[in-house]
Amino acid sequence: MPTIVIIPGWRDSAPGHWQSLWADRIQGAVRVQQDDWISPLRHAWARSIAQTILAQPGQVVVVAHSLGCIATTHLPPEAVGRIQGALLVAPADPERRAVLADFAPVPCQKLPYRNVLVASSNDPYCPVRLAGAYARAWGSEFVRIQDGGHINLESGHGEWPLGLALLQSLVGDAGLSFNAPASPLAMPIDTLETA
């Protein structure tokens, strides 16, 4: 099974965010850490992500959110070659926020691995039309969610079963392995439907 590499966006993913929940629940998942979550620099973020990917024993499946999606498109070839697939959720628009400007322009070449881009019709950080343009440029399978906000904790996305089903489709036959739920409130995995 490929290693799941979780790449949070600007300001990291808080406890309760689906990325944080998945990092705890998916066996062997690795979460990328950045030296500076508040004033991100493209080269530093890409370096941290690449180091995390290259430290894994085999292929990886990337799970990126927001600015993490954009940082993923800036990775060096040696890291890209280790990616089996990517779930790119609610990509950011670095041209809309000055603090993210170092990530512009966003690369527009096709990504050399299967990827699914999930965007919301009312994401305040990236218009759905721009997300659609990213998907066309990157060769992504495009999933549009109606009124999903930024697909984060604030927009009501906890465990996010749809995202887990999409991730399962990228992992393939090996399937995902889960740790035991941390609390009785955690949703049982057997209630998930795969896409």
What's the mean pLDDT in 62-72? Answer: 98
- pLDDT over 90 (residue 68): yes
Please tell me the predicted confidence (pLDDT) of residue 182.
55
- pLDDT over 70 (residue 176): yes
Backbone φ and ψ of 73, nearest 5°:
-75, -10
Please tell me the predicted confidence (pLDDT) of residue 44.
98
For residue 105, say if its preceding peptide bond is cis, omega within 30 degrees of 0.
yes
CA distances from 166 to 56, 61, 108, 172 (A): 22, 12, 23, 10
What's the mean pLDDT in 30-44? Answer: 98
Buried/exposed code over 5-27 (b: 16+ C-beta within 10 A; e: otherwise): bbbbbbebbeeebbbbbbbebbe
Strand partners for 3: 60
Assigned CATH class of 3-191: alpha beta
Please tell me the predicted confidence (pLDDT) of residue 172.
87
**Residue range 124-170, pLDDT digits in tens:** 999 999 999 999 999 999 999 999 999 999 999 999 999 999 999 99
3-state secondary structure of 23: helix
3-state secondary structure of 123: coil
pTM for this model (two decimals): 0.91
Backbone φ and ψ of 67, nearest 5°:
-65, -25
* Distance in angstroms between the alpha carbons of the first and the last residue of the chain: 19
**Residue range 71-128, pLDDT digits in tens:** 999 999 999 999 999 999 999 999 999 999 999 999 999 999 999 999 999 999 999 9
**Residue in this structure with the two tokens 């954009």, named with its chain if needed:** 70
- Assigned token pair, 16: 């309760």
CA atoms within 13 A on the CB side of 96: 11
Higher pLDDT residue, 15 or 194? 15
- pLDDT over 90 (residue 193): no
What pLDDT band is residue 195 in, cutting at 50, 70 and 90?
very low
Q: Which residue ranges make up each domain of the chain?
A: 3-191
Backbone φ and ψ of 144, nearest 5°:
-105, 125
